[in-house]
Chains A and B, each alone.
Chain A
């Protein structure tokens, strides 16, 4: 899948941008804070319906405006059809009124879609950005998001299951809080147990569906990431990835036959939720479930986070992202668009080479401060790759506008 053209309206520091892009390597260069990353952010937003930098749509709107829009025209790998995707958001909330008036609209071929779940997966992209390091440094929620976004792009049902689960979870937590405020710290009566059980039963099926997919994908990620990791890292450690479900589910699963997994998870969660009504009620929160699980990373069997050096962490983060790319490519049978946001400056030659050789023939968008960096540092690492992918397109980014370079002598690059 490739992008033909990009249109931005009131997005970050771009008032209006219409840009035809090249079919192979597109390089956006310029000084800092001119808008290079904003362009990549816009592309990523069109794929995943969320930014890799913020969860607030409000932040994406140009200052003093009320609406942004990003629209892409796409073409399939073999050029046989064109389609468009767009994402827009308007916020016309009057600060003097309490009710918010904001809406996000996703369109496919300029027809608005009623659910975001129908939008995810139409256009796929993988972003490599400095934020990737958070996968290693931060808590479980970052790794769950990595896993959820990846699975959502290739399994549309999964995204729907996530939305449903999070709604049911809110209902259950709300029920716990209502019981708490109406009766204080006394025990639960039969009626209250029954109310919680409604949510237990409703959540169990969806939770089992989520966990089952996560187990499958964690294993695939582990396989792909360990191969990439051995290429990236100069040490001989083996990276492995494992889905860690809190509340003892892992132990149950290790003794379960393949076919029964979903039923086993469902029954297990149901019994655990029922057994922990009292604890959940005291905390006012549901303490067990896929919303608390983690993707556990280890090097030679040792948990990664506490002991790892900066270099080890960087290698692991890069391996995870490259595994994401492999899986998307394998499942969609198309190459996702690659967004490389200022990543090369942080990587040494070995890691740069590993990254470049894993890219394949995808359309690539790169940001960097210095145009010569590409010809000086990147092309010598992988001369074959770059001669195959053909022409580079260079764009200078300056204060919210983009100026395409005219290349007089393509042989120069």
Chain B
């Protein structure tokens, strides 16, 4: 059976979301259709409101509804450290540990020509201008993912920043806490062995 055009359109739009295949899109669409009208309106309003009010923080490029964002605008944060991450999601992850007091910089991706992501589509210029403008920065922590592209991007940034004399560090990789050695995969284990330290 063919769907009514409005339903087909809804399914098609939902199907564009990441992780949503055609079947999930249909299920979501029919769920939305079965919702009370007010609830459906609340959903669509919050999508519109979020999309309209959220922009990029002019300092760290994270999503925010005010500029500068709550992290950059917080006078208690340590302004000498910037942690560079791939995505806004990574900022939330870092914040969840409640341990890091410095600032962030969101690249919005990693360098990957195969996915048509060039260096100029990352927020790199913004990072360099920021470092030139704010002389309080002493350390840049590179926290891109431990993938081939994440490592390559980190490498590029470190080569870019090093001449300025600012300290550049890369987050460590190794064994997850609370896990048994026997469940670690060989690669993680061999990385952890190579990065061992005096104790």
Contact = CB atoms under 8 A, between A and B. Distances in A.
Given A198-B111, A198-B155, A157 B149 contact: no
A157 B159 CA distance: 28
Interface in B154-170: 155-156, 159
A115 B185 CA distance: 10
Nearest to A201: B155
B151 interface: yes
B148 interface: yes
A386 interface: no
Contacts of A329: none
Contacts of A202: 148, 151-152, 155
Interface in A183-203: 191, 194-195, 197-199, 201-202
Interface residues of B, number: 18
Q: Chain A, interface size: which category?
A: 20 to 34
Given A202-B148, A202-B152, A156 B112 contact: no
Contact of A156 (B114, B119, B153, B187): B187
A167 interface: yes
Nearest to B151: A202
A338 B111 CA distance: 45
B186 interface: yes
Contacts of B187: 117, 156-157, 160
Given A171-B148, A195-B119, A202-B155, A156 B113 contact: no
B195 to A, nearest CB: 14
B190 interface: yes
Nearest to A199: B152
A118 B185 CA distance: 7
A157 B111 contact: no
A103 interface: no
B148 to A, nearest CB: 5
Nearest to A179: B113
Given A115-B185, A170-B114, A175-B113, 18 more contacts: A117-B187, A156-B186, A157-B187, A167-B148, A168-B152, A171-B113, A171-B114, A174-B114, A194-B159, A195-B119, A198-B111, A198-B155, A199-B152, A201-B155, A201-B159, A202-B148, A202-B151, A202-B152
17 contacts: A118-B185, A118-B186, A156-B187, A157-B186, A160-B187, A167-B148, A168-B148, A170-B114, A174-B114, A175-B113, A178-B113, A191-B119, A197-B159, A198-B152, A201-B152, A201-B159, A202-B148
Interface of B: 111-114, 118-119, 148-149, 151-153, 155-156, 159, 185-187, 190
